Amino acid sequence: MSELETQIENRRRKREALVEQGVDPYPTRYEFDLEPSQVLERFGERSAEELEAEEQRLKVPGRVRALRKHGKTSFVDLHDGQSKLQVMIRRPQLDEAAEAVLENLDLGDFLGVDGQLIRTRTGELTVAADDLVMLSKSLRPLPEKWHGLADVEARYRRRYLDLIVNPEPRQVFEIRAALVRGMRSFLDAHGFLEVETPMMQAIAGGAAARPFATHHNALDIDLYLRIAPELYLKRLLVGGLHRVYEINRNFRNEGISTQHNPEFTMLEFYWAYSDYRQLMDFTEKLLVGLANDIHGEPAITWQGARLNLEPPWPRYSIKQAISHFAGIDESRLDHVADLAAIFDERKIALPTIVKETSHPVLQSGSRSKYEKEHAQTEIPGDWYGRFLMELFEETVEEKLQEPTFILDYPIAVSPLAKPSPEDPRFTERFELYLGGMEIANAFTELNDPVQQAQRFRQQMEARELGDEEAHRFDHDYIRALEHGMPPAGGEGIGIDRLTMLFADCPSIRDVILFPLLRPQATDE
RNA sequence: GGGCCGUUAGCUCAGUUGGCAGAGCCGCGGACUUUUAAUCCGAAGGUCGUAGGUUCGAUUCCUACACGGCCCA
């Protein structure tokens, strides 16, 4: 028998021993007065003399996290997930049932104690218990008390253990909840209506991503888990819900990394008669407010650096950003041939989509060949934008630690955004970068049904060239637009990444309670 | 998909330049009526991730695989 099996066997024997002595190891009901952290809140300041005079008796439940037995006196640390409360037990004062509980008590058990609140000789607030109730017998040993659970894989796979023995995850998920709470109250206060739109969609639209597929048996139709709620939320704009938001899961059938989990949480909101400029101001206000609420200052600490969130935040167009952060003159950013030359100079790989595309111009996969043929062959017009974006991601993205708006994205990569009146190659779109990560994506929404249909057709062409992430044509969405969508701004904010920043977690798995891992054969 | 790193007792970790596998915590037995990482005494606990290979001998060296981490695509 392995050591673990032995330990489980010992605990099972104690469970049986309790049953034999008429003690239910899993009782149905327990009435208590306060949990440990509440006891500390209410009585934490009382002196020994005050407690002695008060003769306050309490029933307190909690998980046994430490057990110090010395002869006739035992000390137990009772935890409620936030704080611990010490219990002192003098064996001679116990009745038979309580004695059996003490006799068969293990670390990890849930225990109810009943006794007077005192301070011990060392001054610690303590319940001097004269009655004990087993509330739930634990059959497996907890990880070590001092080092906790350190194995990263075990922490993700068995988050319940991580939460019991490590203080950090609880704090992280409290921050996460505070962020979501703060967003809701901010949006509610600005007159936004929270809605829920389909997670299962016949056409997975609203973003460039591969979806998860599923099937509805009764209707016998294929459905997709949504990659974004965008097209449904904008249908609501058509329907007269002029300020709407949704906080919910998106699913993207793509790789896993420290910044990507296949399911992740987004806030998306749409605001009629607004535009991307107003959304930038709104975003600044939202995030600096969250920082003030959660950290008590308009700043966050990210991987050792203090990032100041006080508005206004710098705003660069894509071209300005490349010029400013990568030192490339803006005059070289207007033509695809110039961009290709920069890729060569800087030894940057071509955009994936270009490499994967079966367009004859690039079939060789060789850049020099591409450049040669480029001179005499018509290049699909949207490749300028794709090259520009690739250059931006390669040279600028990681440098954007302080909050920065990057604006005016190429039309090729923004099929749902309204074109810029100044330069039709670009759109009224921004992304917010913070800590080197893309946190928000927003634009003035394209509400021209004719142009939107044309954009969808361009996406279908890209799909035929091999871009599996290209948007799908959504005829029903076009029909909705044809009824008239008010001019509007819309924005998505990634909750997971924002939590990473606010809780200073370098991996998205640390801000998702149960991140996706490859299933493991169950062990003992 | 590629590179690097990791996997030893329930937990946290040592270690073996190839020769019987180590500690602390936990668990078990004992002592102890104010401890708090309680203390003291005692006895336990291992397919060294899995499968092959090299070798007189592999936990250690080699190969493949599994799972995980970080970086890159």
CA A210 to chain centre: 20
Q: How many Å from the CA of A523 to C1' of B62?
A: 29
**Smallest CA–C1' distance to B7, residue:** A151
Nearest to A39 by CA among A106, A124, A156, A98: A124
Q: What is the pLDDT along chain A (524 residues), one digit of tens a residue?
A: 688 999 999 999 999 999 999 999 999 999 999 999 999 999 999 999 999 999 999 999 999 999 999 999 999 999 998 999 999 999 999 999 999 999 999 999 999 999 999 999 999 999 999 999 999 999 999 998 888 999 999 999 999 999 999 999 999 999 999 999 999 999 999 999 999 999 999 999 999 999 999 999 999 999 999 999 999 999 999 999 999 999 999 999 998 999 999 999 999 999 999 999 999 999 999 999 999 999 999 999 999 999 999 999 999 999 999 999 999 999 999 887 888 888 878 877 766 555 444 444 343 343 444 443 443 333 445 678 888 888 898 889 889 999 999 999 999 889 999 999 999 889 999 999 999 999 999 999 999 999 999 999 989 988 887 788 889 999 999 999 999 999 999 999 999 999 999 999 999 999 999 999 988 765 43
Tokens encoding A94 = 């116990």
Q: Which nucleotides of B are covered by protein (CB under 7 A)?
A: 1, 6, 9-13, 24-28, 31-39, 44-47, 66-73
pLDDT at A362: 43
pLDDT at A414: 93
- Quote the ipTM score: 0.91
pLDDT at A170: 95
Half-sphere exposure in the Cβ direction for A78 (13 Å, CA): 33
Q: Is A484 left (phi over 0), alpha (psi -120 to 50) or beta?
A: left
Q: How many Å from the CA of A144 to C1' of B18?
A: 34
pLDDT at A342: 86
A78, A60 in Cβ contact below 8 A? Answer: yes
User: The pTM is what?
Assistant: 0.91
Which nucleotide lies nearest residue A66, CA to C1'?
B36
pLDDT at A373: 40
| Strand A243-251 to A193-194 pairing | parallel
- Number of residues in chain A: 524
Q: How many Å from the CA of A150 to C1' of B7?
A: 13
Tokens encoding A54 = 């008060």
Q: How far is CA A464 from CA A359, A388, A460, in A?
A: 10, 22, 6
**Cα–Cα dist A14/A131, whole Å:** 19
Q: How many Å from the CA of A521 to C1' of B54?
A: 31
Report the run of H or E that residue A456 belongs to, with start and end.
helix A449-464
pLDDT at A466: 77
Q: Residue A223's beta-bridge partner residues? A: A214
pLDDT at A359: 45
pLDDT at A374: 40
Half-sphere exposure in the Cβ direction for A94 (13 Å, CA): 22
pLDDT at A447: 97
